[in-house]
């Protein structure tokens, strides 16, 4: 479980066409590892729209992997990159 700053690509940049809400479960790519994770948007934020830059997103991975603060990752869905982010804080 970690907190991250994420950028959701706009449709014109190859990203999603529609918004997503808490509970969205894309693939997260770290270095050479990919794992499914669930996104929880910050309190007071109902949805994430294509093109948004969001701080304080909580991510829970379904499989534990080695992470470090400052690690960059890609967010992928259906074989394409729909966003990217940076690990801000790891929960212990």
Look at residue 74 in the predicted model and tell me its pLDDT: 98
Would you call 12 helix, strand, or coil by DSSP? helix
As assigned by CATH, the class of the 2-90 domain is mainly beta
Provide block-wise average pLDDT over 10 residues at a time, the chain (92 residues). 98 94 98 96 96 97 96 96 98 82
Cβ partners under 8 Å of residue 58, min gap 6: 1, 2, 3, 39, 40, 42
Do 71 and 3 touch, CB atoms closer than 8 A? no
Among the listed residues 68, 72, 65, 91, the one whose alpha carbon sits nearest the alpha carbon of residue 7: 72
Look at residue 48 in the predicted model and tell me its pLDDT: 97
Look at residue 92 in the predicted model and tell me its pLDDT: 74
Predicted TM-score (pTM) of the model is 0.94
């Amino acid at each position: 479980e970690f907190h991250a700053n994420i950028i959701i690509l706009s449709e014109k940049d190859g990203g999603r066409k529609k918004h997503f809400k808490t509970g969205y479960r894309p693939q997260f790519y770290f270095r050479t590892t990919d794992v499914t994770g669930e996104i929880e948007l910050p309190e007071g934020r109902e949805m994430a729209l294509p093109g948004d830059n969001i701080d304080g997103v909580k991510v829970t991975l379904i499989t534990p992997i080695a992470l470090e603060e400052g690690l960059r990752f890609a967010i992928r869905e259906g074989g394409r990159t729909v966003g990217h982010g940076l690990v801000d804080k790891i929960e212990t």
